[in-house]
Amino acid sequence: MQTTLVTPPPLTPGTLRVIPLGGLGEVGRNMTTFEYDGKILIVDCGVLFPEEHQPGVDLILPDLEPIKERLNDVVGIVLTHGHEDHIGAVPYLLKLRNDIPLIGSELTLALVQAKLKEHRVRAQTITVREGQKHTVGGFHLEFIAVNHSIPDALAVAIKTPAGLVLATGDFKMDQLPLDGRLTDLRTFARLGEEGVDLFLVDSTNADVPGFTPLEREIGPVLDQVIAKAPRRVIVASFSSHVHRVQQVLDAAAAHGRRVALLGRSMLRNMTIAEDLGYLRVPSGVLIDYKKARDLPDDKIVYMSTGSQGEPMAVLSRMANLDHAIEPGPGDTVILASSLIPGNENAVYRVIDGLTRLGANVVHKGNAKVHVSGHAAAGELLYCYNILKPRNVLPVHGEYRHLIANAKLAQDTGIPEQNTIIAANGTVIDLRDHVAEVVGQLDLGFVYVDGSTVGEITDADLKDRRILGEEGFISVIVVIDSKTGEIISGPEVHARGFAEDDRVFDSVKPKIASALSDAVTSGVSDTHALSQVVRRTIGRWVNQSLRRRPMIVPLVIEA
């Protein structure tokens, strides 16, 4: 993976430039730009969810710096499907320029529109479906049906005089999909005959051997678990997993239970899916959750968000007894989702919390209640053999996934030099059937923290971690402005320490002595004297208490 920063050369005529701005080396923030003849096409614009070492962060966006000064050159944003890691950053991009056309399937655009409405952003949309072609700004697009864990997912073929690119988005090859919508391998084969010059392919399950199990195998398991549950059933899933919600609705109806949707995003997305005909709700099954509490325990299923252990989601709040519905003995909780890398600890904490309350927790580790929406190694091999692409760029996955995907491509005969292991910001030029890395941009994380976007830095997060893990010490000293002698202090106050503040009595003379020595040496600047205080108490705390807290010294002249 290229890491050395290299400024790319100017784009030459007849060349297509491809720059992933997110989604490489991570599962999320998927976004790639394609530039040809001065125009830019964007494919996907998603978010990454924060991990434990990013306290206070709500979302992480792609770094838009490379296109901020060129937004007028952007001719469109193609959205492959409606998952947050592919559409979640769209409102933030459109706030910079709101008339960029959004191009996607019916369900995808409906989910984006609902999100934009919350941000009070209006957008131009172009609805497409599989088999359709559309031209925008010199990019000739063809949309191909792919199977995923959300309906209406599309791959996109991008044709320019520089060559043919195929971007899969997220996909798998379920041969018996619940909605009957297969990944269109016939079109893949046709494109392969035409000659795919660059293949951008989903890598999430590239290190998983074989084939992803069928979605329809989950239905009977859910049916069996719900049938045997003695009391309430709580099912947690992604708020956009229409197929999983459909299976829960059908199982509940079969066993005389009603279903209440919990979580704002779950209710919003499923309302949209039902209105558009992607979700078929059995008559009389859905019920408002406030009314559901009046039903007998064995007559209700709650369908909630929070399958990834998100602290503010419904399931986490239930586990912490911070929700109107409090799980207890006899209740059954089903986590009908896979673990997104980085969320393991949070999910297991929720499982432990629910188990401690007496609930029976059913998850992928002990029952077949979820299958992935991503192609495993066997499916990827099929694609490589069908397409025979000249060059491959594995995307959407952590580094080990990208490497595994590249290895699969090489196993099918694609030369190693034609499989590009890239990072976010890697600049790839395609010309005359050859894809070449020509530069590496310096990209970072853009943090959404409450109402602020991009103002929180990695240094701020480091400070937050120190505050949370090591504590906080403030030291106040007042000195005479003429003599430099201490008039008041040092006063030491600490937070996040088990010890009483009196433990610092022994270091106060050391601080006073260090200040006196500094003044005698001619140091008079209060900032420099504050640093003397910081170093003195920092060394003492490290040696005596084995801690590295945040230290805020304040030296005041009077």
182-215 confidence digits (pLDDT tens) = 999 999 999 999 999 999 999 999 999 999 999 9
The pLDDT, as a whole number, for residue 53 is: 58
Q: Which two tokens stand for residue 198?
A: 């660059």
The pLDDT, as a whole number, for residue 59 is: 76
CB atoms closer than 10 angstroms to residue 290: 9
The pLDDT, as a whole number, for residue 239 is: 86
The pLDDT, as a whole number, for residue 264 is: 87
The pLDDT, as a whole number, for residue 22 is: 93
Res 453 pLDDT > 80:
no
Q: Which amino acid is at 399?
A: Y
Q: Which two tokens stand for residue 411?
A: 């196993």
Res 412 pLDDT > 70:
yes
Q: Looking at 137-186, which runs of residues are DSSP E strands?
A: 139-145, 154-160, 163-167
- Mean pLDDT check: name the lowest of 145-149, 422-426, 544-548: 544-548
CA distances from 217 to 171, 222, 302, 340, 376 (A): 18, 9, 21, 21, 17
The pLDDT, as a whole number, for residue 461 is: 62
pLDDT band of residue 55 (cuts 50, 70, 90) is: low
Residue 126 has phi, psi (to 5 degrees) of -130, 110
Is the N-terminal amide bond of 490 cis, ω within 30° of 0?
Answer: yes
Average pLDDT over residues 59-88: 93
Res 454 pLDDT > 90:
no
513-541 confidence digits (pLDDT tens) = 887 778 777 777 777 888 878 888 888 87
541-557 confidence digits (pLDDT tens) = 777 767 777 788 887 77
The pLDDT, as a whole number, for residue 367 is: 75
155-171 confidence digits (pLDDT tens) = 999 999 999 999 999 99
- Mean pLDDT check: name the lowest of 228-242, 359-373, 418-432: 359-373
End-to-end CA distance of the chain: 57
More confident residue, 106 or 507: 106
Q: Which amino acid is at 436?
A: E
More confident residue, 14 or 472: 14
Res 499 pLDDT > 70:
no
| Mean per-residue pLDDT of the chain | 88
3-state secondary structure 109-140: HHHHHHHHHHCCCCCCEEECCCCCEEEECCEE
Q: Which two tokens stand for residue 161?
A: 């005089």
The pLDDT, as a whole number, for residue 384 is: 97
- What is the chain's Cα-based Rg? 28
The single-letter DSSP state of residue 553 is: E
Average pLDDT over residues 144-163: 96
The fraction of the chain above a pLDDT of 70, given in percent, is 91
3-50 confidence digits (pLDDT tens) = 677 899 999 999 999 999 999 999 889 999 999 999 999 999 999 876
Own/partner contacts of 494-501, CB < 8 Å, gap of 24 or more, are 494/549, 495/471, 496/467, 496/468, 496/470, 496/471, 496/472, 496/549, 497/471, 497/473, 497/545, 497/547, 497/549, 499/545
Distance of CA 556 to the CA centre of its chain: 46
Average pLDDT over residues 442-451: 77
More confident residue, 32 or 472: 32
Average pLDDT over residues 145-163: 96
The residues near 353 (Cβ < 8 Å, ≥ 6 apart) are: 319, 320
Average pLDDT over residues 61-70: 92
500-512 as b/e: b if 16+ CB within 10 A: eeeebeebbeebb
Domains delineated in the chain = 16-210+372-453 (3.60.15.10), 215-362 (3.40.50.10710), 471-557 (3.10.20.580)
How far apart CA 352 and CA 363 sit, in angstroms, is 12
Res 2 pLDDT > 70:
no
CB atoms closer than 10 angstroms to residue 204: 24
Res 298 pLDDT > 60:
yes
Q: Provide the 3-class DSSP secondary structure of residue 330.
A: coil
What pTM does this model have?
0.81
Res 436 pLDDT > 60:
yes
How far apart CA 236 and CA 62 sit, in angstroms, is 28
